[in-house]
Structures are given as structure tokens and as C-alpha cells.
Amino acid sequence: MPPDSSNNADFELSNAIADDVNAEIEELDYLGLRMALGNSRPRRLIRQFARACLLNKLNFAKTWVARGPFPHMQAQGLSNLHQALAVGKGVVIAACHVGQYHRIPFVLNELDVPVTLLLDGENKAREEQELAGWSALYQGTLERPIEYLNAELPTSPWRMSQALKQRRALFVYMDGGTGLKDADPARTCVEVKFLRLLLRVRKGLAYVAGRAGAPIVPAICSQNAQGEQSVAFCSPCVLNDVETLDAYCVRALQYCYCILEEQVLQDPASWEEWYHVHRWVVYPGATIRQSPPPQPGLEQSQKVRFLFDRENTEILKMPAGRILFQTVTGTAIAANPAVAAILHAARRPAAATDLLALNPAVTEVAEPTLMLQQLEAAGFLLRLP
């Protein structure tokens, strides 16, 4: 029977799409690493970190789908976990996407701790489909070792509180971006320091923990030089008697991100979420460059000069073409011929009139003066005094 060419075409298309997605993730991993590490590491080395980060993610995903084999995972900091559980109000496990983090709930089950796992709707549905297979491997005595909770439901905060009242471990990814949605970031987010950056992150896990009086225990996976896996349960963080709930949310999440920072400084490629960092950053230049400033007369002025801000511009090699990203304003633009010509010429101080008359790539643009103003507003061009 001849092969089904339509199926082969679908398979090839699926692989091509997957390759494009992975290529974009690797470039955005590089962007996040570059923004966070700055000049502390050479660009070439940061590129290697980004590649290793993607490969680590893909390799572990294959092993996870196959359900192993997994090496033994040692639990460290058990006294911290037991201290938190002894409070008697449940515990929030603040995990992050480092190493073999998927295995932490099973480690907790082995310690006779039931887990309620908070996930977005898509991942919850996928995990529930796989639960039967994983349950067959469980040999403990817990009646409900793992249950799932949809973070995107409006009732999720109440369900999280109920899980804590049942003295379960509420397992939350502190570096996730879904759940407890609200149009007002001032109500749902806090700002934390992370390496060179200021990030805006969800405060839901700290808010629910503080309201319930449940300790937060950060949990982070690692691998030593011999390939041995471990998960460390860190010191618990609890709302004290003299701080407000809002102050606690800031303190708790800053504590969690300090632990993550310590890990990624040791092994930058171990964290999967670098490709999201550009979306979480609080950009210092975004508020002052929201719209192009009115600059009449650029086409006649020889006095106005510009310089390309190369230091704060990253070139991302996306499958659809090259993208320029400005790390002060958070602005991205396609590196089309007109943009490339202007920025290339502005590597050294250049008059506005010279930039506008470079070559057909620029002069054929309907509004070249507007393009120059937009590049300035986005931070790619710096106006010289």
C-alpha cells in the first residue's frame, strides 16, 4: 500500500512549525539572559546558555512523556518543610521551572504530603489525561495524592484556600504568568528585583498564603557535577504580626526570586523561563517614550544629530526575519532595509538630513521623517546635544 503523502506532508509541516517555535524560544531565551546578565558574560557564552536551556527543556520533556527512567531525586531541607507543615494551615510550595521540577509533587507524595497542583487550563487538561498512568506508579497510602486546580477560573483563589484548609501542599509555580487574572496590575502584581532587572510578577500565591496564614516554602531543583538530582525545600516565609498583607506579598516574592537568582547565577541554563523575561520587565524608558515626540523640520535641519544606541539593542534572528529589540524601552521592530540603513549609518554621529537621504531604501519610504521620529521615540536613536 503506498504511503499516505498527505500524512507525510502534515508531519513535515508539524515538524517545521515546531522547529520555528523552538527557534523563537531560543532567541527569546537569549534575550532574557542577555538582559539579566548584561555584560557580565560574553554574548557568545550567553548564546550557548540559550541553546543549552532549550535542549534541557526538550530532553526532559521527552523523558517526562515516556515516564522515565528517572534517577533518584534527593530531598534536602526537610526540616524546613516539616516546620511549615507543623503550623497546621497547609503549605504553599513555591516552585520554579528549574531542572526536573515536574517531579517535586511526587517527592512530596513520597513524604506523605498530598498535593494540589495549580495550573493553567491547557496544562491542567493535559496533566489530568496523564494522571492515570502516573497513579499506577504511586505506592503510598494517600487517598488523593495529587489533584489539579485550574488557575484561570474566577474561583481559583477560594479553591486554593480550601486546599490549604485541608492541610494539603498547594503547589504553585512562582514564575508562571497565568491565574488570578485582573485588568489592574497594581492589584494583581508586585515588583521584585532579579539580577539587573526589575520584574512585575503575579502576587496571587503570596496573597492566598498570607490570608490563610500558611507558610510559603520555595522549592528548587538542581543537579550536581555527577548528575545526581535533588530538590531543596528552603526556609518558610510567613506573614508576621507587624506587616500588612501587601507588604508580605512583596517580601515573600522577593525572597522567592532571590532564591531563583542564586540558582541561575550558578547554572544560567537550568531555568526554562528566560524566554518570558522580556514580558515581565519594568522598562525604565517605557514611560517617557510612549509616543514619538513632535520634531518638525528634521528634513531641513543640519543641526539635529543622532547616534544608534547599539549597547541597548539586541538583534534576534527569528524564523520570519531579524527583529531589533530595545532593552530600555521594551520596543521591538522588524529590521527592514530602511531601518537597517538608518541604524547602520548612525553607528557614528549622523545628521538627520544625511540619514533621510541615505539610499532608495529610505527615500522610497512614504514618511521617512516619521520613521526617524519613531526610531528616536523607541530608543533606537539617541539625539545628541
pLDDT digits (tens), the chain, 385 positions:
344 444 444 434 345 557 888 999 999 999 999 999 999 999 999 999 999 999 999 988 888 888 778 888 999 999 999 999 999 999 999 999 999 999 999 999 999 999 999 988 777 777 776 766 666 667 778 888 999 888 888 888 899 999 999 999 999 999 986 543 444 666 789 999 999 999 999 999 999 999 999 999 999 999 888 888 999 999 999 999 999 999 999 999 999 999 999 999 999 999 999 999 999 999 987 655 544 455 555 555 567 899 999 999 999 999 989 999 999 999 999 998 889 889 999 999 999 888 887 765 555 555 778 888 889 999 999 999 8
Residue 185: partners with Cβ closer than 8 Å, 6 or more residues away: 200
Going by C-alpha positions, the residue among 318, 336, 348, 347 that lies closest to residue 374 is 336
- 50-54 own/partner pairs: CB under 8 Å, 24+ apart: 50/26, 50/269, 50/274, 51/26, 52/269, 53/26, 53/29, 53/268, 53/269, 53/270, 53/271, 53/272, 53/274, 54/22, 54/25, 54/26, 54/29
Spacing of C-alpha 187 from chain mean position:
20
Q: What pLDDT is recorded for position 301?
A: 59
The CB-side HSE value for 229 (13 A sphere, CA atoms) comes to 16
Phi, psi of 331 (to 5 degrees): -100, 140
342: buried, middle or exposed (CB in 10 Å: 19+, 13-18, 0-12)?
Answer: buried
Identify the helix (H) or strand (E) that includes residue 116: strand 115-119
Question: For residues 179 and 186, is the Cβ–Cβ distance under 8 A?
Answer: no
Q: What is the CA radius of gyration of the chain?
A: 25
DSSP 99: S
DSSP 48: H
Residue 298: partners with Cβ closer than 8 Å, 6 or more residues away: 304, 352, 353, 356, 369, 372, 373
SS3 at position 52: helix
Cell of 16: 517545521
Question: For residues 228 and 244, is the Cβ–Cβ distance under 8 A?
Answer: no
CATH (residue range 305-383): 3.90.930
Query: Cβ atoms within 10 A of the Cβ of 318, count?
Result: 16
